[in-house]
């Protein structure tokens, strides 16, 4: 009973499901199964068949690809209230990427048939899912542009901007990222080495664009200045 009321509350808080009410909300909440993962545990394997949608109740996960040499590229970081695993359900193809827990996390799972029935019965939910997929495509476009067009300095500034956009809190003219990924993870987001990330972060701190307090990053001046660092290095060749 506690689980159903927890999952009902979670569904209410998630934008894409927030229109569900009454019996519809109860029905969907009753179909969710809770699962827990330890930090570093692989939740989804690329190329596996997919039969479920995941909604993160608590924690953070990374969507990643691995090269043959084990190098990691982080495509996205998802957190409380985000969903993943929808792509295989929508196109019937295998999982498009690995999803790995970045911290101890728990999620609710919704089976394929229940997810697809919900989309067909509720066009508003389908539209909101399309909206979220468009947002993710924009972020992916930014990342492709960054990786192809910017030098490493711009790519790392771009990764910080992406974190600011997805999880930053605005306080006056500052944007605060409460729990930044590790330097190795920022390196995997920006296609850089950990050593370069360390050097660029301290350069940005010295020039007063950011300040760092442990895991906190404060973008101290106007966010546009950081974006300028990102943009002015776009190669024209």
Binding site for ligand CMP (CB under 6 A): 44, 50, 63, 75-76, 84-88, 95-97, 99, 136, 140
Residue 84 CB, nearest distance to ligand CMP (Å)?
3
Tokens standing for 80?
A: 């409380």
When the beta carbons of 49 and 208 are compared against ligand CMP, the nearer one is 49
Residue 169 CB, nearest distance to ligand CMP (Å)?
21
Residue 51 CB, nearest distance to ligand CMP (Å)?
10
Distance from C-alpha of 163 to C-alpha of 230, rounded to nearest angstrom? 14
Residue 42 CB, nearest distance to ligand CMP (Å)?
11
Alpha helix (H) residue ranges in the chain: 2-13, 22-31, 86-91, 112-121, 123-149, 152-167, 183-190, 194-206, 223-232
Distance from C-alpha of 95 to C-alpha of 97, rounded to nearest angstrom? 6
When the beta carbons of 116 and 212 are compared against ligand CMP, the nearer one is 116
When the beta carbons of 60 and 136 are compared against ligand CMP, the nearer one is 136
Contact 168, 177 (CB under 8 A): yes
When the beta carbons of 59 and 85 are compared against ligand CMP, the nearer one is 85
Residue 57 CB, nearest distance to ligand CMP (Å)?
16
Contact 210, 204 (CB under 8 A): yes
- For the beta sheet containing 174-177, the strands, ordered from the edge strand earlier in sequence to the opposite edge, are 169-171, 174-177, 216-219, 210-213
| Residue corresponding to tokens 């370069």 | 196
When the beta carbons of 63 and 156 are compared against ligand CMP, the nearer one is 63
Tokens standing for 73?
A: 């590229």
Residues in a beta bridge with 106 = 36, 58
Residue 40 CB, nearest distance to ligand CMP (Å)?
17
When the beta carbons of 37 and 84 are compared against ligand CMP, the nearer one is 84
Tokens standing for 201?
A: 């972060």
When the beta carbons of 86 and 185 are compared against ligand CMP, the nearer one is 86
Most distant pair of Cα atoms in the chain: their distance: 61
Residue 53 CB, nearest distance to ligand CMP (Å)?
8
């Amino acid at each position: 009973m506690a689980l159903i009321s927890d999952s009902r509350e979670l569904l209410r808080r998630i934008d894409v499901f927030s229109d569900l009410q009454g019996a519809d909300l109860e029905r969907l909440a009753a179909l969710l199964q809770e699962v827990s993962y330890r930090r570093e545990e692989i939740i989804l394997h690329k190329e596996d068949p997919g039969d479920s949608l995941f909604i993160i109740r608590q924690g953070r996960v990374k969507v990643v690809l691995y090269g043959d040499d084990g190098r990691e590229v982080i495509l996205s970081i998802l957190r409380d209230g985000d969903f993943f695993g929808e792509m295989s359900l929508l196109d019937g193809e295998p999982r498009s990427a690995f999803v790995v827990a970045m911290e101890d996390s728990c999620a609710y799972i919704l089976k394929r048939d229940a997810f697809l029935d919900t989309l067909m019965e509720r066009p508003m939910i389908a539209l909101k899912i399309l909206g979220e997929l468009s947002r993710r495509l924009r972020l992916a476009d930014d990342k492709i542009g960054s990786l192809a067009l910017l030098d490493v300095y711009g790519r790392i500034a771009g990764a910080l901007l992406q974190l600011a956009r997805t999880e930053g809190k605005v306080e006056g003219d500052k944007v605060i990222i409460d729990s930044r990924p590790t330097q190795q993870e920022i390196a995997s987001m920006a296609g850089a080495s950990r050593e370069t990330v360390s050097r660029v972060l301290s350069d940005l701190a010295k020039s007063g664009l950011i300040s760092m307090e442990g895991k906190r990053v404060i973008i101290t001046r106007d966010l546009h200045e950081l974006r300028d660092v990102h943009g002015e290095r776009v190669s024209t060749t």
